[in-house]
Amino acid sequence: MSDDLAQGRLVRCVYGLLIIVALSVVSGRIASVTSKEGDTPFLSANDRSRWCTIASLVENGTYQIDPFLERQGAKANRRPWGTIDLVRHQGADEEQHYYSSKPPLLPTLYAGVYYVLRHSMGTTLSEQPLYMGRLLLWLINIPILAIFLLATIWTIDRVTTEPIVQCFVAACVCFGTMLLPFSISLNNHVPAAAAMAVALYLFVTGIQQPTKWPMWFFCGLCAAFGAANELPALAMTTALVGILVVTNWRAVPGYLLGASLVAAAYFGTSYLAHQDHLPPYFHRGNGELLATLPESPDDETLREELTRLSLVGPGSSIDRSWTRDPARERVTINQHEFIALVSVFDEAVEVRRWDDWYDYPGSYWVDGRRRGVDVGEPSRMIYAIHMLVGHHGIFSLTPIWLLVPIGIVVGLSRSRASKLPGGASKGSHSRAVQVRQQLDSSVLHKASPEAFMLGGGATSYQLLSLAILATSAVCIAFFVARPEIDRNYGGVSACFRWLLWLAPFWLYSLALASEHLAKHTWSILAGGILLAASAFSMSTALSNPWQSPWLYRFWDLLGWING
């Protein structure tokens, strides 16, 4: 057996062992995952919100989750299904109902898995939440995590040919990010990262070899599905199609067709759930303007105005109450229809349709009820510092990301096709390709220099690195610019979870940086230290991702956290 073939097989064995260990760790945690009270595998209000939707869809045939919220547990005053991540609005029956605040597409897909499992096992989540919940978690999260690991490692295998770099980055993929802890809970972050990992793999594959439209269709489908689970990922979904417009316009129709299919499912399931095409987080303000009154009306004047607008009839009851917005009143008609009275300049009052689904009696999301990080950070500067290098820091909790800026610079510096990604010469890449083809002809193909060239000497890889840089900067700026109520670091969670979907792209940049630095012994040692520190952070959250980061808890112990 040739040295190249033996080396290639050894790398593949390392890949397999790392993936098996990662999946085994998560499987073991899922097999023992339990709430504090020990009666469900639900770890937070966040995942309970989705569990309620899944159970209600299959057991009751509706997205309304009212019956689950007050369900009692084994212990007194224990509500194992209770959640704060919910909204309330008028349903198709013209009555007020509670719904999960999460976009319904993902829970709808998961409900399909539960439907099959329920009819196979003969029991329900309501009857056996611990047993059925763990089984569902395993059936859902293990395949999704496997997809993320495989797709990301396959992408790395395409852009670097150095065995030591391939093994190092594969270890980072499996144990260096915070995706493993989140894989023991029902959430949107792991499927978003997995979808973007597949999209990146298909995109890089399409750059390196002639690709038919079905591959671009699935690339668009996966990129859009990532955005459907993490709205900021829409920036990368758009950036990828922008690169295709410049480099390979024939791929654009297939990509857009796949993305359109996901968009239709996203808005369609939202309409099924809420009778509105937009998901709940678009309903946090004042709705359609119905009328403007010269001054704040008394009850009789208000009744006359609402009668004129055909919103009330003879004998309708009207109740007025204040809301979380001090400039707004809630008007309840016949106990189910809401109207907002909004005070504006010169004492004028606007009569509007009610469109704040997060504002209801007992809502957690009103001033004075939120606690801890949910209160929001008043200072944008302090928020940015903690988000990047502080107690929720992207770089402080996951130090391997310190290599990402270096990788982006390396990617941007490649202006000619004489060098393939990762710095390997065309000849060395061809030898690697021959080895890969002997092992699995579907994994790697020989790439011609023309596949990497664009007008002006730029390469597709340059544009991809530029897209990673721009998207990362835009997303960070987006979260810093959010209003105070949203500057909460993602709530009580083990990291700044809203950027986990970027993991495949950052790992791609990390691979470029690693191959560039692997020529030096000191840099290999430094990379190992960064990976060890990242794995340490990851392991501290394996018990429950819905807890404050270890840095936050340590600083709190030292008395450094105010409030």
Q: What is the mean pLDDT of residues 44-52?
A: 95
Amino acid at 196: M
Q: In whole angstroms, what is the distance from residue 442 CA to residue 158 CA? A: 12
Write out the H or E segment, with its range, that includes residue 413: none
Q: How far apart (Å, rounded) are the C-alpha atoms in residues 218 and 196?
A: 11
In a domain, 440, yes or no: no
Residue 159 CA to residue 162 CA, distance in Å, equals 10
Cα–Cα dist 156/506, whole Å: 11
Q: What is the pLDDT of residue 305?
A: 80
Q: Render pLDDT for 241-254 as a digit per residue (tens, 0 to 9).
A: 999 999 889 999 99
Residues 271-282 have pLDDT tens digits of 999 999 999 989
In the predicted structure, residue 91 carries a pLDDT above the cut 90: no
User: Which pLDDT value is given to residue 351?
Assistant: 85
| Domain assignment of residue 352, yes or no | yes
Which one is predicted more confidently, 229 or 419? 229
Residue-wise pLDDT tens digits, 297-306:
887 888 788 8
Number of independent structural domains in the chain = 1
Whether residue 339 lies inside any domain: the answer is yes
The answer to whether position 245 is within a domain reads no
Cβ contact 318:301 at 8 Å: no
Burial class (CB in 10 A: 0-12, 13-18, 19+), 61: exposed
Beta strands in 311-443 (DSSP E): 318-322, 328-333, 337-343, 349-356
Higher local confidence (pLDDT), 285 or 402: 402
Res. 368 pLDDT band, cuts 50 70 90: low
pLDDT tens digits along 425-473: 333 344 344 434 433 333 333 333 334 333 333 588 899 999 999 999 9
421 assigned to some structural domain: no
Q: Establish if 21 belongs to a structural domain.
A: no
What value, to the nearest 5°, has the Cα angle with vertex 101 and ends 178 and 325?
115
pTM above 0.85, yes or no: yes
State pLDDT tens for residues 50-59: 999 999 999 9
What percent of the chain has pLDDT above 90?
A: 61
* pLDDT given at position 415: 52
Which whole number is the average pLDDT over 170-182?
Answer: 97
195, two tokens: 């979808």
Identify the pLDDT of residue 391. Answer: 95
Q: At what angle do helices 234-247 and 252-274 cross, to 10 degrees?
A: 160
Instruction: Examine the pLDDT at 398 and tell me if it is beyond 60.
Output: yes
In tens, the pLDDT along 63-72 reads 999 999 988 7
Which residue carries 């229809």 as its tokens? 337
pLDDT confidence tier of residue 346, bands split at 50, 70 and 90? low
Mean pLDDT over the full length of the chain: 87
What's the average model confidence in pLDDT over 140-144? Answer: 98
Q: Which residues does 381 contact at the CB level (< 8 Å), separation at least 6? A: none
Quick one: pLDDT at residue 458? 53
3-state SS assignment for residue 131: helix
pLDDT for residue 447: 39
- pLDDT (0 to 100) of residue 436: 41
Is residue 330 one of the residues assigned to a domain? yes
Q: Which residue range(s) make up the domain with 345?
A: 289-356
**Is the per-residue pLDDT at 310 higher than 90?**
no
Q: Please state which of the ranges 2-11, 441-450, 462-471, 519-528 shows the lowest mean pLDDT.
A: 441-450
pLDDT band at 94 (very low <50, low <70, confident <90, very high): confident
Cα-based distances in Å from 267 to 262, 279, 351, 455, 503: 9, 8, 28, 38, 26
Q: Is the pLDDT of residue 419 over 60?
A: no
Selection from 289-293, 400-404, 518-522 with the highest mean pLDDT:
400-404
Of 281, 239, 134, 249, whose CA–CA distance to 464 is shortest? 239
Mean pLDDT computed over 536-563:
92
Rounded-to-integer distance, Cα 49 and Cα 41, Å: 13
pLDDT in tens, 219-241: 999 999 999 999 999 999 999 99
In a domain, 113, yes or no: no
- DSSP label at 369? T
| Phi-psi group of 149: left, alpha or beta (phi > 0 → left; psi -120 to 50 → alpha; rest → beta) | alpha
Decide: 194 and 553 in contact? Cβ < 8 Å.
no
What average pLDDT does range 88-103 have in this prediction? 90
